[in-house]
Amino acid sequence: MTGDVEPALDRDLDTRINALCEEGREFWHRFDAEVRQDDWHPFVASDYDAVRAALESVRKPGRRFLEWGSATGVITIMADLLGFDAYGIELDSSLVDVARDLAARWHSNAQFAAGSFIPMGWEWKHPEGNGRHGTVGRGPSGYLEFGCALGDFDVVYGFPWMGEEPMMLDLMRTHGGKDAHLLLHTPQGATRTYRDGKILGELISTPTARID
């Protein structure tokens, strides 16, 4: 923790973010009913309020933020509105189109790439020999489109399915920035903040403290 506290959000920004999240939730419910009921899809929306609380706890002007599997872009756009330099990578290019459209309508500078958040050449070495990636798909690296590497981001966010957290922690350990924060949403609806592989805190929906 530091004394370098960001001021509380002004009311307009707070209202905008709430409306963005509401639009995101409505899209997700439609997607779940119209797409996922016929064909399984890895996109499940997180608890946006819990992610927002975690983002606010690590917010500093100019910090570079990356969302792994950005789906409709709600969280990346929220990060942009909160002052991060925000990027999202998503494998499903139709969702990337949705995210770009959402960003344009919300006058957001958030940027999106269609591709994989797994850097080229990286393979997960599971300690017990099982290197399965779970629901994390394969594809060309999305970093190339941004012209930067995973190690260039200050804050990285992901929503792993059950059992995928060790893979994300290992990816961050091997390719993440030295002082970067990793925010992982949990199936229980909380967002956990890690740095250097250690848990700094877990937030549900109301920020109680800054995590630096």
Ligand X SMILES: C[S@@+](CC[C@H](N)C(=O)[O-])C[C@H]1O[C@@H](n2cnc3c(N)ncnc32)[C@H](O)[C@@H]1O
Candidate list 89, 103, 168, 182; residue touching ligand X; CB under 6 A:
89
Report the alpha-carbon distance of residue 182 to residue 199 in Å, rounded. 9
Segment near ligand X (CB under 6 A); pick from 7-15, 57-65, 87-95, 164-172: 87-95
Query: Hey, which residues between 1 and 40 contact ligand X (CB under 6 A)?
Result: none
Question: What string marks each residue from 159 to 178 as x (binds ligand X by CB under 6 A) or -?
Answer: x-------------------
CB of residue 88 to ligand X, shortest distance in Å: 8
Candidate list 92, 97, 145, 202; residue touching ligand X; CB under 6 A:
92
CB of residue 140 to ligand X, shortest distance in Å: 10
Q: Is 184 exposed, middle or buried (0-12, 13-18, 19+ CB in 10 A)?
A: buried
Per-residue b/e over 109-144, b at no fewer than 16 CB within 10 Å?
A: ebbbbbbbbbbeeeebeeeeeeeeeeebeeeebbbe
Report the alpha-carbon distance of residue 49 to residue 53 in Å, rounded. 6
CB of residue 81 to ligand X, shortest distance in Å: 16
Q: Is 60 exposed, middle or buried (0-12, 13-18, 19+ CB in 10 A)?
A: middle
Written as six digits, the tokens of 62 are: 């100019």
Considering only CA atoms, which of 193, 210, 207 is closest in space to residue 52? 207
Question: What string marks each residue from 117 to 146 as x (binds ligand X by CB under 6 A) or -?
Answer: xx-----------------xx---------
Q: Does 187 bind ligand X (CB under 6 A)?
A: no
Segment near ligand X (CB under 6 A); pick from 5-13, 30-38, 85-93, 166-174: 85-93
Per-residue b/e over 151-173, b at no fewer than 16 CB within 10 Å?
A: eebbbbbbbbeeebbebbbbbbe
Rg (CA), the chain: 16
Question: What string marks each residue from 43 to 82 as x (binds ligand X by CB under 6 A) or -?
Answer: xxxx--------------------x-xxx---x-------
Contact residues toward ligand X (CB under 6 A) are 42-46, 67, 69-71, 75, 89-92, 95, 116-118, 136-137, 159, 185
